[in-house]
Structure 1
């Protein structure tokens, strides 16, 4: 039996911050090519391995290779039965499970595609999935996808969409000794941040699954010099929206809520978006779970 904790620790010890997943992709590819029952393809730092058993249904087991930047937690550390380390939960534990399934299950009840892809933790436009969809969409064909993202051991169906927005507020530049001659754009962020924090939480229920929407400020930029009243301030927001809304509907909702805090010279633009997915629990593969 595979020691999944040890395998996860091995994967954690291979650095794979976004855009630097090559070494981990090499390891995954090497292990998968040792499985004679799998057809393996590699495109860039994306690795896909498939069974070809002519089953009527195909399951995709999907996981991303990359992690967020390190914070002093680069190396794996096991204490009792707990593993600590960069990406242990998100999502090298899931990768370990996928690898173990690929290596130990040569004749699954359905055909399986194991998809290990790069650059999930950054903009959706840079994702390895987007690269695969462009170059080899056939590798992503299937009936159901199962992702090993951390959920606390709970089966979650569907997924929320994600949207990144950039809001720019304007003011008027002046010397800090004479602030009345200008208008501080950074000070204007206060009311806008208050509105972000007070956005009513939506918790729609679809097919028995509850989704919790969220809006968070994730970046702030502004300032000219220590003695200058800034005339520009930028706020970056991340919005997670439930699958009962399209991306356009989610954007319209935010514009309605935040619009009263913006002036004609200000701007709000969507810089990155990925649509939500409904739970689809009526599919026979999902119903079996």
Structure 2
């Protein structure tokens, strides 16, 4: 038995109510078909000024006004798994008294998507041409990303002068992002009976020496184009041991290096290999570049003026990196506190949703 199709999305209800509608369509990574169908149907019904195409469960909608500049604005449709936190509820923040929408996806990132959808329908004559993108599979392995897939298959649709990703940023602009590297570090030893441990060489003890060095390491704070990025190098997983009476001959652990966008991926890899030079194996298992702040372009400076707050650095990795790799300056801008993303008490202030819509509207319509 298949579930009933969700009710049609209503952009006229405004970004707050549309956030509720979007969140109440379950869309855990890998199950984005229903929400992608709903977004596509909404655009077909309400946005005849847009040229719409679909790649899997990624929707791309473009204006073709002949403007001399183009802005790409993107958001992902999927969420992490639901944990008894849908449907959305109205709540009041006990500390601030602010009205909140509570539930899975409110922060990451259906509020940002709602703002984008409302403006995609409303702005029939923006001052720049617009490419709107709503994509699948953001919350899982990078190689599954709908945005990455669409960029590979339709590169001509992603030509732009500036890009905005609706990741939660507490309603401020967060420039660029850190790069991220994961590596598997392996130490070898010699097995022996634990009653005669001197006959062997303990790989776990060898790993302990490297982990002590890692725990003592103080990562840098790096200024890039006026914003400060904090780096990090941390162990995130460890494996080892044979049996309760055997000296282990192998131990491995995984590290995650978050590096400033001023460093290339080659530099990040060289640093990690040098740091663990006395390991037997250093295997890079994942590596994505960072993105510089993207705030020097005139379009970006006008956007900063529209938001009216001082930009900060994005300390995690986001898909702005994909735009940056194409030579497109990109920033993060969306409602919600990123510290609540994926949390069971995920919730977004209503006033951040409306303020974000107002700032984007003013900038894209030329009011600022």
Cα RMSD (Å) of the superposition? 2.4
- Cα distance in 2 for partners of 1:4, 1:84 equals 15
Tell me, yes or no, if structure 1 residue 6 matches structure 2 residue 24. no
- SS of corresponding position for 2:61: strand
5+ long unaligned stretches in structure 1: none
- SS of corresponding position for 1:19: coil
Tell me, yes or no, if structure 1 residue 274 matches structure 2 residue 288. yes
Specify the alignment match of 1:199 in structure 2. 217
Tell me, yes or no, if structure 1 residue 257 matches structure 2 residue 275. yes
Question: 1:196/1:63 Cα in 2 relative to 1: closer, same or farther (>3 Å)?
Answer: farther
Tell me, yes or no, if structure 1 residue 125 matches structure 2 residue 143. yes
Specify the alignment match of 1:161 in structure 2. 179
Specify the alignment match of 1:114 in structure 2. 132
Tell me, yes or no, if structure 1 residue 170 matches structure 2 residue 191. no
- Cα distance in 1 for partners of 2:233, 2:300 equals 30
Task: Judge conservation of contact 2:23–2:103 (CA < 8 Å) in 1.
Answer: yes
In the superposition, the TM-score normalised over structure 2's length comes to 0.70
In the superposition, the TM-score normalised over structure 1's length comes to 0.87
- SS of corresponding position for 2:258: strand
CA drift of 1:282 comes to 2.4
Specify the alignment match of 1:36 in structure 2. 48
1:176-233 residue CA offsets vs partner (Å, 9 max, x unmatched): 5655554443444433333333332222222211111222333333444555554333
- Cα distance in 1 for partners of 2:210, 2:112 equals 38
Tell me, yes or no, if structure 1 residue 220 matches structure 2 residue 238. yes
- Cα distance in 2 for partners of 1:69, 1:88 equals 13
- SS of corresponding position for 1:211: strand
- Cα distance in 1 for partners of 2:252, 2:231 equals 23
Question: 1:258/1:52 Cα in 2 relative to 1: closer, same or farther (>3 Å)?
Answer: same
Specify the alignment match of 1:93 in structure 2. 111
Question: 1:151/1:193 Cα in 2 relative to 1: closer, same or farther (>3 Å)?
Answer: farther
5+ long unaligned stretches in structure 2: 1-11, 93-98, 304-368
Aligned residues: 285
Task: Judge conservation of contact 1:61–1:112 (CA < 8 Å) in 2.
Answer: yes
